[in-house]
Amino acid sequence: MNQPAIAAETIAQRAALARLIDGLVSEDGMHPTAIDDLYLIRCSAPSEPVHGLQKPALCVIVQGSKEVRLGDERYTYDALRYLVVSVAVPVAGRVLEASPGEPYLCIRLDIDPALIATLVAEAGPVDAGGGPQRGLYLDRIDAPLLDATLRLVRLLDSPQDIAVLAPLALREIFYRLLRGQQGRHLHEIAVRDSQGHRVTRAIEWLNRNYVEPLRIDELAQRVNLSSSTLHHRFKALTAMSPLQYQKQLRLQEARRLLIAEGLDVSSAGYRVGYESPSQFSREYSRLFGASPVKDLARLRSIA
């Protein structure tokens, strides 16, 4: 098949996906579906940056564009490229292009590490490439991946077929990610006892215990790595050190406590592990661009 035909095919597939999503979700937001781990996202206007912990997922934009910030790095993508997050990372994301007439439409499919490990075992290894890989990457979408995604979303219109056919479509989607040009990103973190897998275990531990004081030597021992290897591989995967990662987790949770539970600034900082209110305020301002009090007032005014 020649290149123009491939382009025409992907355009048609994206148009079909846009019609499907537009018919399934009429309100802005992230909508769970009858298929586990599949979410449909709609947004009718460009957004402010939204901070959060992004768990492993495939994100396919059907319409519009988005920017995701990981540490100091920025990733901008649209309907021509997909985003894969292979390890849980604190990010800030904002919709760049959207309007009521042409809303931002996106498919998010959470990644099941067990399924990835099964596919690696069945399909065999992929080229490991040169050294540690970032746990977030963009790649150009192609017709076969779009076709499998389209078949998965179409199942939402025939719920009786989901139990049998959805697992087949999911296997194909993740298989195509693994066999793609950057499949090594997923391969490395799925292979048990690889360094990438051990760093993933350190990330999972931090997500469960971010309030606790961080001792790198103890964390490295817990996942059977040297301290220097853990630090190097952790930063390669997440674009930040373990301490910076923990700090973002703490600050994001503190912001949630301020907004959702109405805690005062000192109590929110203390709840997430800060002993110094002044240090908490400084680091909060550095991440969110304003002091906790000013940031909370701005968020309430927007709401």
pLDDT of residue 78 exceeding 80: yes
300 confidence band (pLDDT: 50, 70, 90): confident
Pick from 163, 165, 158: nearest CA to 20: 158
CB 241 within 8 A of CB 234: yes
pLDDT for res 26: 93
1 confidence band (pLDDT: 50, 70, 90): very low
Percent of the chain with pLDDT over 70: 95
| For range 138-150, the mean pLDDT | 94
CA 12 to chain centre: 26
CB 42 within 8 A of CB 105: yes
Q: pLDDT per residue over 25-74, tens digit each?
A: 999 999 999 999 999 999 999 999 999 999 999 999 999 999 999 988 99
Phi, psi of 65 (to 5 degrees): -150, 165
- Round to whole Å and give the CA distance between 174 and 120: 10
Domain at 3-188: CATH code: 2.60.120.10
pTM of the predicted structure, to 2 decimals:
0.90
- Round to whole Å and give the CA distance between 300 and 185: 39
Percent of the chain with pLDDT over 90: 77
Structure tokens at 37: 């781990």
pLDDT for res 129: 55
CB 136 within 8 A of CB 85: yes
CB 140 within 8 A of CB 98: no
Q: pLDDT per residue over 4-30, tens digit each?
A: 555 788 889 999 999 999 999 999 999
Give the residue, 202 or 190, on which the prediction is more confident: 202
pLDDT for res 166: 97
Question: Three-state DSSP class for 45?
Answer: coil
pLDDT of residue 150 exceeding 80: yes
Neighbours of 173 (CB within 10 A): 22
User: Which residues, in sequence order, are CB contacts of 259 under 8 Å at separation 6+?
Assistant: 296, 299
pLDDT of residue 295 exceeding 70: yes
- CATH 1.10.10.60 placement within the chain: 192-303
Neighbours of 231 (CB within 10 A): 18
Domain at 192-303: CATH code: 1.10.10.60
pLDDT for res 133: 75
Phi, psi of 108 (to 5 degrees): -115, 130
Side-chain half-sphere exposure of 236, counting CA atoms within 13 A: 17
Structure tokens at 112: 């099941």
- CATH 2.60.120.10 placement within the chain: 3-188
pLDDT for res 114: 86
**CB-neighbour burial class of residue 300 (10 A; exposed 0-12, middle 13-18, buried 19+):** exposed
User: In the 8-state DSSP scheme, what is residue 141?
Assistant: -
> Mean pLDDT for the chain?
91
240 confidence band (pLDDT: 50, 70, 90): very high
The DSSP result for 221-287, as a single string, is: HHTT--HHHHHHHHHHHHSS-HHHHHHHHHHHHHHHHHHHS---HHHHHHHTT-S-HHHHHHHHHHH
Q: pLDDT per residue over 220-230, tens digit each?
A: 999 999 999 99
- Round to whole Å and give the CA distance between 67 and 65: 7
Pick from 155, 44, 50: nearest CA to 106: 44
